Homo-oligomer: A and B are copies of this chain.
């Protein structure tokens, strides 16, 4: 870091650091001639401003934190991509934190680091929105004293800004589609009860059954952990039932894949032998025209919107986050491709 400084430029150009700073930031009056000389020396000496020094003296960085549970999950990498595009437009830089679904440990460590870095704002998907340390967690986040935007998962009892998806509606629509196709025996591979999206998707499922007067049977409600294996195991068990379901609703992309894998192994065709409908798009299946109907979330858009909200908060309120909280709930889209059909 033994670099050319503003002082070196000033010396060489026979002006003061103040003036150099003025042309650098394009504010205040500087005689055209002086400006030219300075600009030239800057180029000549290959000067690159030190953002750290600037941050310190301005008491402000242009860095935001982005914290996600797992970058290997296409959902999150797509969200980050969306964030990145908007951040770039606004000359905001991203410090990326992957918490590895590590519950609290990693999150706390990263949050501390981000606070030390004096970041400008934070976009975060908490690994869990319902841990026993909820109040400590809230304190931690609020203690950052910067604008925070949640993505996809909420924090209990908080009123942070956020971009969410109407999971109840989405899974209601999905389940309704199965019902309308003629199904009455519909099983759900539910998410873990500790997950709000998981719980909400289950609620939507129940709501649809209720509306159409279809009895809710506990045997048809099985809890997975959002991973492929649980979708696989659960499906295998569902098939073994005395009265197996005629349709399966899977609460996320990985469990849908697990379900399809199990059906493949059992040589059961979709939808001729059993119908399947999943939550979340699976890009590769689309490409291969493996027509699986899904409830689809606007992933990339969620990232973009989150970043737009954050930018607004940052600009409108350089000091405190006093403007009204912005919580957006997007409606997922039902995409029917045939796998929901009912064969008697």
Contacts and interface: CB of A to CB of B under 8 A. Distances in A.
Interface in A100-157: 100, 106, 112-113, 115-118, 143
A50 interface: yes
Interface stretch (A29-37, A174-182, A285-293, A334-342): A285-293
Interface string A54-85: 01100111010010001110100110110011
A252 to B, nearest CB: 14
Contacts of A51: 113, 116-118
A322 interface: no
A282 B52 CA distance: 42
Interface stretch (A91-99, A192-200, A323-331): A91-99
B98 A95 contact: no
Contacts of A268: none
Contact of A96 (B1, B56, B96): B96
Interface string A252-267: 0000011011001100
A314 interface: no
A35 to B, nearest CB: 21
Interface in A289-318: 289-290
Contacts of A85: 98, 100
B289 A264 contact: yes
Q: Which 3 A-B pairs have the closest CB atoms?
A: A77-B77, A284-B284, A51-B116
